[in-house]
Structure formats: structure tokens, C-alpha cells
Structure 1
Amino acid sequence: MSSNLNSNVSANLSAEDTVKEFFGGGAGAATTSDSDALSVSLANLWQTIHENRWGIILFMIAGCLAGVFKAVSETPVYQARLTMAVEPSSSRGGQSNVFDPFAYRFYETQYELLKSRSVAERVVDQLQLVERESVQSLLLSPSIFRSLTREFTRLTGISLVDEPKVPQTKIDLTAKEKEQKRRWLTGIIQSGVSVSGGEKTNLVQVSFRSINPDFAAEIANELVSAYIDLGLDSQLSRSQQTTQWLSQRIDGLKVSLDQAQSNLQRFLVEENLLDSSRSAQITTSELQTLNAEYNGARAKLDELAKRYGARHPKITEARAEMLAAKQRLDSKSRSISSSREKQVELARLERDVQVNQELYEAFLAKFKEADISASGSQVASARIVDRALPPSGPIYPQKNRIIVMWTLGGLMFGIMLAFLRQQLDSTFKTGRMLEEKLGLPLFGILQSLGKDTKAVERHYLDNKRSVFSESINHIRTGITYSNVDNPPHVMVVTSSVQSEGKTTLASNLALSYAQQGKTLLIDADLRRPRIKHIIETDTPYGLVDYVAGMVELSDCIRQDKDEKNLFILNSGTTPPNPLELLASDRFRQILQDLRGRFEHIIIDTAPVLPASDAVVLGRLSDALLMVVQSDKTTFHMARDAVKRLNASRVPVAGLILTQANIKKAHSSYYGGYYGYGAYAYVEDSAAKES
């Protein structure tokens, strides 16, 4: 018999360790490795999503519906695109094939010109948009209601609202209204233009966006035409301005030249002079002739002096000729010196004539070159390659993308709220969480039986093979083998606050222990007794009356009607001082006497935080069990209760998580444990079939 008992004990210990390790570990659970911690974190993440799956799905559906509404209510936008070739202008004699490292500036300039106000104003004027009454409907987005009705008509073919007919007639506006509308239309066209291209080729794409496809193509084509016309007009204007300026300068230079020539001519006539070049030639020739005559006369005098005396008549005649020649030469020299000032003035006048003549001829040549350049230059620098056509479909909204993005946004928002809720929720959800945060062993988990279940405090008696009953047996086993050498006989059941399920645990645990021997259930919650309401007895007396010495023990204790090994000791009369009564020596002696009468004693007492009864009873018991309600008891409440017990040197033997929602929780926490309970159902079914 001893060997059988040892083998059963070993089997129970092995099963107990396996179960505890599966759903949260026990007193001897080993620390997890890094990989296990990662697995636990991922499991917690999935658990959060699983617990809040319906809320997340609701947010995802709401996001999808919002995306559908946005996609349907958005006004379609069409984009018409035109392709054109743009090249820098070059004159007939220019070098167009020379590499220009700054050519990108030219294209950037053309892009800005295409989007300029001048081009947009030309489009407005050429298309006469100011006078067109239909332009309002082509540029302004319809209301959300009209967008929804149009989408409904497109999908079903049923017209809910007749589309208003837009008149094509012109409207009469005042000058001020026309100017305001022209500015408004110009701004609208400028904002709808986009230009791209020109990076590797000379092709440029010009696009215009509008809610009307035909109007988008019309504006795109007219925009490029206006741009080309603007270039032509600009170059023609520059040529005209250059020609006009050169013509004005030539006329002025012609007047200056005529005035200079007139001044020169008048000076020559007044001073009886020739022009500088002819006067210089004549003067030089006369001086040379006079000098030659003087030298000849002197040579003749020297020759005669050799043959004749000084008084010879030929000598006298030759000397007179030499003196006359010298006199003529000196007279001419003096005449030239006296006319030097006139020569300087003459040179100045001639220089004025020359300068005016050169300027006149230079500007005349430039004028002729400008005419030739204007007639032979390459004026058109842009040409249309592909004209814009009305687009077949809108570029916005991309309905599928909007719906997907809003759906994903709703999903992510729901997940974020779920995690935020988890972070703000400090209640206990699982046994693993309870063990990790409080650092105490977990004896078991009790599932929530729901509001429809009657007499939950006596559920063990109604169905001993149910999942709930198997959980009670599991807790009983954990308590028994928490101290194998000296199993606890007197056990106190308490909680942090009221309504956590301590009475339910105490009642069902007493029924479970009654299967092993004589068991006493004491209702020591003297402030709010509960057991007397769930177990009917034929005596009004109880623990208070017995401790006070008013009645005998036999008058207080009653045997359970449905379980012969279970005896009930109710609280009895409500005392004015429950703590003093439980801390009395009389109660200590009574509890010691009851130890000898019963194999197991279960005491249901008041919660720890509101009262100190559990501290007093914990010192007199062998084990104190603390009940924690799932999704209600916060970490701070349970921690304060444990601290209070530890401060009084009352250790907590183990924890019990009550009212756990198995359907809501993930199977990785409870599936293994409650799978064991489900096995009992299968066993019963097989037995019935046999």
C-alpha cells in the first residue's frame, strides 16, 4: 500500500508540474531563456489582438466604410497631356550644335513661362472664358451629394437626380466683374498646369488637370499655343524695339555728321584754307622748292668765289640771288608758323567729321544686320508633337487605393487602441501574468461559469467531472503538495477586496476536500457573511456565538445535507468587534480543538485591504490562499494586499485566479489545462456508451 501511495504521489507531482509549467509555472518553475521570452512576448502580442479582435474588426470595417465614402464622394480629376519639342532659338549663322553646360537653365525658364500668368491670361482671352457661363461647372467641384448620386448612377444605371443643363451662351458682365473673373480664371489655370521632361531629350510634357476631361484637353492645347504665340510676339517685339532704337540713333548721328561737315566747310572758306592733307602737301612742296633755290644760289656763290674776287660783279649778283632766296624761305617759314593755330582748329573740325562719320557708318551697318537677323532668324523654338486628347479615366481618386489605405488605417488604429488599452489595464488576465508580477506560486485557475449558472458556490457537488470541478481538484492537489512533508490542514481563503470569488472557492474547495475526509467549512467573514445564504442550516448560531460562550459546539456545527463528510460552521450573530473576537485566546483554543476533530478546515474570511481579519487568521492557519479575480483585480490592489500580509509575517501559500474567461483568452494559456477537464467529459461519454 505504501508503494502504491508513493507511486500515486509521484504521478500526481509529475502531472501537477506539467500542468503548472504549461499555463504559467508553479513554485518550482524555471526561468525562461531569451528565446522563450521572445516567444512569450509574441504570444502576449497575439493574445492582445485576439482578445480585442472584435473591436479591431469593427474599427477596420469603420475605416473601410469611411474609405468607401471618401472614394465615392471625391470629385474625379482628369489630366490631359500634350507633348511638345522645345529647342533654344539660334540665328542663321549661329552654332546650334555647340555643347552648352547651362542648357538646363533654358528648359527651366520655359517651364516657368508655361506656368506664367501671361500665358494663362492669353488662354483666358483666346478661349473667351470670361464670357462663357459654363466655365463655372467645368472648374468648381460638385457637392458631396451630387458626387454620391453620380457614383450611384454609374454603378446601377438608375438616375436619382437629373443633371442640370449648362447653358453655352455668353453672359453680360460689368468691366469690374470681368476683371475679377479673369483674375480668378487665370489663377485656376495656373494652379492646374504641370510641366515635366527635358532631361534627356528636348520633349516636354505639358499637363492640365480639371474635373471635365474635354475641358482639360482644351486648356492643355490652348496653353501651348499661347506659349508659342507669346514667344513669337516677344521676339518680334524685341526686333521692333531694336530696329526702332537703331533708327533713332542713326537719325541723330546723321544730324551730327552734317553739322560737323558744315562747320569744317565754313572754316575752310573763311580762312581761305584747304583741308589738312592738301595744305600739308602744298606747304611741304613750297618749302622744298624754296630750300632748293636757296641751296642752289649758295652753291653758285661758292663756285664763283673761287674764280672771282669779292668785288666782282658776278659775285655781287650771285650774293644778291642767294639773299633773295633766303629771304623767300624765311618768309614762307614765318607764314607757316603763323598759320599753326588755324591748322589745329582745322584738324579738330576734321576729326569731328571723321568720328561722326565712323559712328554713322557703324550704326548703319548694325541696322542692316538687325534687318537681316530679323528676316533670317529661327523664331519658333517650340512645336507640338502630340496634341492633348480627352483622358479616358480620372487620375484621382484612386478608389481601390483609398479604400485599402483607410481599411489598413482602421486596422492599425484598432490595434493601437487595443495595445493602449492593454497598457492602461493593470488587471490580471492570465496565470503567467499573475505569477510574474506578484512573484508567488499559482495553484490554479477557475473559469467563469457565467450568469446563467445557478448555485456556483456548490457547483462541485452538481458536476464533479466538469472543467470547473477539475480545476478545484487541481487547486486542492497544489495545496496538498505545496508542503509534502507537512500538508496544510487549516487553510484560510481571502482576497484583496470583496466580490473576487473567495467564498465560491472556499465552498467548492471544502466540497473537494470532503471527498478525502472529514472537512469543516467556517464562515469567518463576520462583516459580510455569505455561506449562511448558500447553505441552509437549522440553527441560527455560529462561530461568534460559540466563541462568545453562549452555545455549545454541537449547537453551531451542522452536517451538509448533500455531502456527509462536510460540516458547516456559519458566522452566527453579527459581532460589534469582529477583529477582537478572532484575535482572542478563546478563538485560538477553539481552532486548536477543531484541528483534532476534522482532517481539513477551510476558513472563509474578510478581504485583506478593508479589514485585518485575514492577518489574524493567517497566523493561526497552515496556509493562506489569496483569490485574484481576472479582469477586475488590479496589480496595485493585489500588491498592496500581499505587502500587508508580508508585513505581518503572514506568507501567502499560493494564488488562485478566478472568473477567467476561457472563450476570450487564447488557448496557449488555458487550453492545456482545460483540455484535461474536457478529457473527463469524453471519459463519461465512453462509459455511458459502454
Structure 2
Amino acid sequence: MLVKSDDLKRNDEFIDLSKYIQLVKRNLLAIVVFAVFVTACVTFYVLTITPEFKATSTLLIENQQKKVISIEQVVGVDTSKQEYYQTQYEIIRSNRIAEKVISDLGIGVIESANNAIAESDEPSGLKAFVNNVKEMVYNLPLLSDYIQKPLPVLDEQLKDSHRQRVLREFKKNLSVTPVKETQLVHITFLSKDPLMAANVANAIGEAYIQNHVESQLEANQQASIWINSRLGELQLQLQSSELKLAQFMEREGLVDAAGIDSLATTELTNLTNQLSEARDRRLAAESLYSVLQKNRDADLSSLYAIKQVSNHPQIRDIRSNEVDAEKRVFELSKRYGPKHDKMIRAQAELKALQNRSTKILKQLVVGIEKELSTALEQERGLKRELELKKKEFQSVTLKKAEFETLRREVNTNRQLYDLFLTRQKETSATSDYQNAIARFTDRASIPLVPAKPRKVLIIAISAVSAFIIGLAAAFILEAMRNTFERRADVEEKVGLTGLGSVPKILAKKYRKSKIGAELFLDKEHKDFGESIRSIRTSLILSLMQSKRKCVAVTSPISGEGKTTVSVALAESFAAMEKVLLIDCDLRKPSVGERFSLSNAQPGMTNYLLMGAELEDCIYHHEESGLDVMTSGLLIPNPQELLGSEQYKEMIESLSEKYDRIIIDTPPVNVVSDPMLVANVTTSCVMVVKANSTKVNQLNFAISRMLKYKSVIEGVVLNQDQSKTQDAYQYYGYEHS
């Protein structure tokens, strides 16, 4: 029956692992054979490979080289940057180091590289064929004038090309690997000779160290030559600058370089101080003179009250004496009378001091006037002299600037000369010092175990890979397969019930002739009979509710074994019921041939069209108890007969006499006869050939049958070669 049910839909929603497990089981032998074959081939190939040995030496690259001189080296790089180590790794890999090692180790390394080059140069079959074709084309008479042959390679070009190939082959086997977060680097060399591998790994490190030493020595020598040449130039420059300075001092009359401006500066400072003092004196004189002029008519006491007058040294002294005299007169007046001698002398002394004060004041006025005139003249003289000294100082400043320029040039040339002289002596003293950039922490030892090939690992990987490839191929082929290999494929791909599968008959007598009716009864093919009985059981269960008696057996295309299934299925039902087998294939009938009936045997067309008796048209097979109605005489219009009321009435009449009617029909996709038959029987069984019938062919046949409202009870898979047929043998039906 058409069983595209909810169960199948639900099955599409999850992965059925059992299906894949069964797929692996079915193809396990082929997968294992493929894996064993591939593993054997790989094992044979691996055993023929010449083993290669790997040796590793370890270097410690210094980030700060030892210094034997007090100043920085003439040449060098910044060792504090990460690029410094990357540069050293590339130097180790460089052609210069490789050439030095090849030269030092000699013929052994060259022969090893030459052998590898010779193996790679050995032309393959295709390459040799292409070379021969090219040579033939170049030699053709008609084409030789138009096609230019390749120019011959010169010996020098060959040598250079061979040298480069030797270097490439050598460096291909060399690896330089820095150790993370350290200053260590591993130098590894791969060779078929373990001794050579160790020697080259050590020689690379030694060549790298020696190359750095030689580079430093060469750089120091070049620096020494350059320093010596520059030293002579600097000496001449120093002598020239010293001579210019001496000539300048002689021309300007300078004796002491430090006293060029000291005298001028001192004189200018003194004149400035003197001018300041003269200005102060002149201002004081002007102030006093102005006060005296304003108080020219004032009395003596009023003049004394003026601060500038009272503070004058002469006035201050005489005023002090006058005050003392007044005190004595005052004291004596308390004791003596005005005419006493002491009083008279004291008053006379006071009078004399007052007269003297008046005289001094008059002289002071005259002296202040002269002092003011002198102060003015002295100030003007000092100003004139100061201006002259300033001009002289400016001239001295210009001389000093020129002197400083000459002296600075001398000092600079002397410093450069001293620096180069010191470097020249240090470079000469350390010219033969070898400062190594790196040192060995571990030297390479002779390897005892080959690094390549890792035979066990390769064989194991090849075995696993071959097995995986075999599995993948099985899954891919299964996914690409568009036919039915097993009974379960029918339900998965088209949604029809699989009634059962019929094994392929491998007996020799059936290879070139059609299978007869005796096959079902043949004890040598019990598995065939058991598969038919299983199909019978499935069909009985399918027809149990509908109680349909007539079943049409058809197939999508011809050659799928529907007649064999029809005959065997009818024989199996005959063991239980009264059964009639009708051959409705009116184009290529074959049922009569299966029962060894002659073509003259009356059949269905004889009964329907020629008035033959029904009993004469039915053949009874004694061995199986089956009644058979052949197709009868061939007619030109089978569809008209199968669609007629006569045919329908015949089927209805026979249904009353028989418990089961099995009808063999033509292929569905070839002609429309099966649809007419199924329209009467309303029930059919589809037969497909295992690994032959395409899914789209079966789907097309199903769609045609469903248009006529025919019920497809299920599908029989014929000529099944899958291992599911062994299930019958499990119950003792296997044949020898």
C-alpha cells in the first residue's frame, strides 16, 4: 500500500544511525580490502625510502657583546631590538654561510646535493615525451626556418645554475628555529648520512660565529684606514686654526688671551662709578646753592634752621661750638652778673663764634657756587671720557668676537683630533681581538635513529586514511545511488510498502533461459520459495481488510522479473487457495512459456473474441495445483479488449469461481495496458529490479497507476543480492 505515513515523515526529521551502521556492515569487506591494499602499497613504498637523519646544534646569541675599549665600536647594530635576532636568524640561513660550510666540508655535501638534484632532474615519462616532441618539431624542415630553437647554455651559466641549485638543495635541508622567549636558536640539518648531518649542523654554527668575527675584523680594518686618513686631515685643520689665532693676536697686539677685554671693562666701570659720584656731588651743590639763594636776606638763626645748611660740615662744627658757648653764658648768668669778668669773656667768646658763623656762611655761599661750577665741569668731562671709552669697548668687543671664533675653531679641531687619535690607538691595539657574537650551548651529536620517514606513523596514518576514504566513498556512492538495493530503500525513497525481496537466481541453467514454473517447487532454491512465501504473507495481510481477490502484477519497465514473480506468487497462493493466473500481457506474453505450453494453447483472447469454451482456455498445473489462463492469440488492439465490458465481466465471473486471481501485465511506463487492468482489479503489486530500476522510473509508474485509482499494495524487490537475504539461511533454508 502507499505508505507515505506520519512515521516516515518523522523518520526524516532525525538521523537513523542504524541505517548508516548497516551501510558500513554491507561495505565493510570492500572497505577493509581497500584499506589493506592501500596500506600494503604505502608500506612497500615506505620500505623503499632511504632514511634521513636529523642533527641539531644549539647556539646562544649574545644581545650585548663584550667591550674591550672605553668608547663605542666603530660599526655595529642595535642589539636591544627584536629585529636584531631576526637579522641573525637570516644570516644563519644566508647563502654566504651555506657556501662557506659547503667549501669547508668539501665533496661529501656536494655529492649529497648532486644526488638529490639528479633525482629531481630525472625526466618522468610525460616530461620525456614532451621533450622528444619539441625536438621533433624543431627538426621539421618546413618549421625549422620559422621556429627559433632555444639558445645553447654557456658553461658559465651552467656552473652558476648548478651552484644555485646546490645551494637550494642544501638550504632545503637546513632549518633555523629560535627557542621562544630565549636567546637560543636550534640549527637542524637533515641528511641521509648521520655523520654528515651532525657535521653540517655544527659547521653552520661555527661558520656563523667565524663570519661575524671576520666581518668585525674587516669593518675594524676599514675603520682604521678611514680614521688614519681623517687623522691627517684633522691635524692640518688644527695647525691652520692655531696659526690663524696666533696671527690675529699678533696683529691686534694681544698678549694674554684672557685680558683682551678685562682692562677696557675695568676702565669703563671706573668711569661709570666716577660719573655717578660727580653727578651726586653736583646735585648736592645745586640743592644747597638753591636754598642759600632763596634765603639770602634771612638772619643767622633762620639759616641754621635750613637742613641743607645745618648739615654742612663747617656749619655743623661752628654751630656745635656756638651752642656750647651759649650754654656757658647761660650757666654763668645764674651765678655772676653781666659785668663779671667771666661773663664778659663768655659773651665775648660767644660773639666771636657768631661773627665767625656769619663769615663762614658768607664764605659757604661763595664756596658752594664754586663747588657747583667745579662739579658741573667735572661731570661733563667724565661724560666725554665715558663716551670715548664706550667706543673703545665696542671695538674691543668686535676683536673679542673674532678671537672667540678663532679660539673655538682651535678647540673644536683639537677635540676632534684628540678623539680620532684615541680611537686610532684603541683600534690598532684591539685589531686582532676576536669578539664572538654567539657560542654553542649544545653541539650536534650523530643521530642514531632516522627522523624520516616515520614508517610506523606513516603506515598507521595511511591505514586510517584509507579506511576513512573507503567509508566516505561508501557514503558518497550510497548518496549518489538512484536505484533500489534493499527492501528498505523502497520505503525511504518512494514511500511504498516493501512486500519483500526475491533473491537473484545464480544457477547456470537459468542464465540463458527464462525461469520456469518449477523454480518455486525446486528444493535446491528454497531461499527463493521462502522469499515468495514471505511476500504472499505480506500481501495477504494487506488484502485482508479490503477482501480484494484480484491482484495485478506489473513493473515500471520491462526485464524486471514481474512474470517470474507472478508465476511464483500464484504457485505460493495455490498451496492454500484455489488460484488462477491470467496472462494479460497481450503484446509479449510469457506465462505460457513458463509452463511449457504451446502457442496454440487457447487463452483469454480465444475466450473473449473467438467464443472458445472457458474450460478449454484454462490450463491446470498438476504439480502446484494452479490454474493458468494464457493470453491466447495476439491481437492488434489489446487496450480495446482490456477496457471492454467483456473483460470486466470475465474477471467478475472468474472471481466467483476462484479464491485468488493473479494477473500478469505489461510494464507501466511502456504501455497503458496495466492501468486498464488495475482499473478492474483495483489492486496491484509493483516489481522492481534491484540495482537497476531508477527511482524516477518507479515514481512515474506510481503516478500513472494512481491516476486510475489503483491501490498499490506494495513493491517487490527482485534479484536482490544484498546480505539481507541471508536472513532466510538463518532459519535453515540455505542451499549448497
Task: Indicate the structure (1 or 2) with the bigger Cα radius of gyration.
Answer: 2
8 Å contact kept, 2:516–2:594: no
Shift of 1:274: 3.0
Identity %: 27
**1:91 paired residue among 59, 64, 67:** 67
Secondary structure of 1:529's counterpart equals coil
Deviation string for 1:452-492 (max 9, x for gaps)?
Answer: 36545432233499333233333333333334355332222
Match of 1:380 among 414, 436, 442: 436
Correspondences of 1:53-64 after superposition (within 5 Å):
53-64=28-39
Q: Is 2:53 the counterpart of 1:78?
A: yes
Contact 2:49 2:453 in 1 (8 A): yes
Distance 1:414 1:331, change over 3 A: closer
| One-letter code aligned to 1:111 | Y
2:660 corresponds in structure 1 to 600
Please point out which of 84, 87, 108 is paired with 1:109.
87
- Are the structure 2 counterparts of residues 506 and 180 from structure 1 closer, same or farther at C-alpha, using a change threshold of 3 Å? closer
Aligned residue number for residue 7 of structure 2: 31
Which is worse superposed, 385-394 or 489-498?
385-394
The alignment status of 1:223 with 2:204, answered yes or no, reads yes
CA-to-partner distance for each residue in 1:284-305, whole Å, 9 max, x for gaps? 89999999xxxxxxxxxxxxxx
CA distance in 1, matches of 2:481, 2:663: 32
Give the C-alpha shift of residue 417 in structure 1. Answer: 2.4
CA shift in 2, pair 1:626/1:33, >3 Å: closer
Q: CA deviation at 1:530?
A: 0.9
1:159 is aligned to none
> Offset at 1:331?
11
- Equivalences for 1:239-388 in 2 at 5 Å? 239-270=220-251, 273-277=254-258, 341=395, 344-345=398-399, 348-349=402-403, 351-365=405-419, 367-368=421-422, 371-372=425-426, 379-388=435-444
Letter in 2 for 1:416: A
- Residue 16 of structure 2 aligns to a residue whose secondary structure is helix
- In the TM superposition, 1:609-620 aligns within 5 A as 609-620=669-680
Question: How many residues of Structure 1 are paired with residues of Structure 2 in the alignment?
Answer: 590
Q: Distance in 2 between matches of 1:590 and 1:49?
A: 52
Q: State the secondary structure of the residue aligned to 1:85.
A: strand
Shift of 1:260: 2.6
Asked if residue 204 in structure 1 is aligned to residue 258 in structure 2, the reply is no
Mapped contact 1:260–1:349 kept (Cα < 8 A): no
Preserved contact between residue 138 and residue 212 of structure 1 (Cα < 8 Å)? no
- Give the one of 462, 487, 498 matched to 1:406: 462
Is structure 2 residue 703 aligned with structure 1 residue 643? yes
1:547 alignment partner in structure 2: 608
The one-letter amino acid paired with 1:90 is K
Residue 482 of structure 1 aligns to a residue whose secondary structure is: helix
Q: Secondary structure at the match of 1:627?
A: strand
- Selected match of 2:508 from 433, 452, 460: 452
Note the residue ranges of structure 1 that are not aligned, 5 or more in a row: 1-24, 146-172, 292-305, 307-322, 683-690
Q: Mean Cα displacement is larger for which, 538-547 or 29-38?
A: 29-38
Aligned counterparts of 1:485 and 1:271: Cα–Cα separation in 2: 145
What stretches of structure 2 of length at least 5 have no aligned partner?
72-77, 123-153, 273-359, 361-376
In structure 2, distance between residues paired with 1:52 and 1:105: 58
1:474-489 equivalent positions in 2, closer than 5 A: 474-484=534-544, 487-489=547-549
Q: Show the 5 A alignment for 1:486-525.
A: 487-525=547-585
Residue 638 (structure 2) aligned to one of 578, 581, 588? 578
Q: Secondary structure of the residue that 2:435 maps to in structure 1? A: coil
Write the distance in 2 (CA, Å) between the matches of 1:350 and 1:582.
137
- 1:653 and 1:180 mapped to 2: Cα distance? 80
Kindly provide the CA deviation profile for residues 403-453 of structure 1, in whole angstroms up to 9, marking residues without a partner as x: 333333333333222222222222122323213433333333322232436
CA 1:380 to 1:138, structure 2 compared with 1: closer, same or farther past 3 Å? farther
- Are 2:231 and 2:420, in contact at CA under 8 Å, matched by a contact in 1? no
Structure 1 residue 680, shift from structure 2 partner = 6.9
Q: Distance in 2 between matches of 1:612 and 1:224?
A: 89
Offset of residue 221 of structure 1: 2.4
| Cα gap change, 1:633 to 1:94, in 2 (>3 Å) | farther
> Does the Cα contact within 8 Å between 1:257 and 1:353 map onto a contact in 2?
no
Partner of 1:31: helix, strand, or coil?
Answer: helix
Question: 1:379: Cα distance to partner?
Answer: 1.6
Number of the residue aligned with 2:280: none
Once the two structures are overlaid, the 10-residue window that deviates more, 68-77 or 174-183, is: 174-183
Give the Å deviation of 1:535: 0.9
Is 1:531 the counterpart of 2:584? The answer is no
1:654 equivalenced with 2:635 (yes/no): no
1:476/1:512 contact within 8 Å kept = yes
Partner AA of 2:554 in structure 1: T
Take 1:180 and 1:598, find their aligned partners in 2: how far apart are those partners?
Answer: 96
Q: In structure 2, do the counterparts of structure 1 residues 46 and 370 end up closer, same or farther at CA, with 3 Å as the change threshold?
A: farther
Residue 67 (1) aligns with residue 48 (2): no
- TM-score after normalising by structure 1: 0.73
Q: 1:289 to 1:592 in 2, by over 3 A?
A: closer
Closer/same/farther in 2, CA of residues 249 and 356 from structure 1, 3 Å limit: farther
CA displacement at 1:675 relative to structure 2: 6.2
Report how far residue 271 of structure 1 moved. Answer: 5.5
For the residue of structure 1 that corresponds to 2:588, the secondary structure is coil
Q: Does 204-213 or 601-610 show the bigger shift?
A: 204-213
Specify whether residues 122 and 345 from structure 1 end up closer, same or farther in structure 2 by C-alpha distance, changes over 3 A only: farther
In 2, Cα distance between equivalents of 1:279 and 1:491: 142
Residue of structure 2 equivalent to 1:417: 473
Offset, 1:362 = 4.4
Identify if the C-alpha distance between structure 1 residues 605 and 356 changes in structure 2 by more than 3 Å, giving closer, same or farther: same
After superposition, the Cα gap between the structure-2 partners of 1:94 and 1:618, relative to the gap in structure 1 and judged at 3 Å, is farther
SS at match of 1:481: helix
Tell me by how many angstroms 1:114 deviates: 1.0
Residue type at the aligned position of 1:551? A
Check conservation: 1:83, 1:384, Cα contact below 8 A: yes
CA displacement at 1:581 relative to structure 2:
1.7
In structure 2, what is the equivalent of residue 317 of structure 1?
A: none
The whole-number CA distance in structure 2 between the counterparts of 1:239 and 1:182 is: 31
C-alpha contact 2:578 2:660 (8 A) present in aligned 1: yes
Counterparts of 2:155 and 2:546, CA distance in 1: 108
Aligned 1:158-169 pairs, distance under 5 A = none
RMSD: 4.5
The answer to whether residue 543 in structure 2 is matched with residue 562 in structure 1 is: no
The separation in 2 between residues aligned to 1:520 and 1:132, in whole angstroms, is 92
Task: Give how far 1:383 is off.
Answer: 1.8
* CA separation of 1:280 and 1:533: change in aligned 2, threshold 3 A: closer
SS across alignment from 1:413: helix
Query: CA shift at 1:45, angstroms?
Result: 1.5
Is the 1:90–1:378 Cα contact (8 Å) retained in structure 2? no
- Distance in 1 (alpha carbons) for counterparts of 2:216 and 2:509: 96
Q: CA deviation at 1:645?
A: 1.0
CA distance in 2, matches of 1:28, 1:511: 31
Amino acid of the residue matched to residue 381 of structure 1?
I
Q: Retained in 2: the 8 A contact 1:67–1:404? A: no
Distance 2:699 2:421 in 1: 102
Q: CA deviation at 1:496?
A: 1.4
Separation of aligned partners in 2, 1:484 and 1:135: 85
Residue type matched to 1:232 in 2? Answer: V
The one-letter amino acid paired with 1:659 is Q
1:106 partner amino acid: Y
Residue of structure 2 equivalent to 1:45: 20
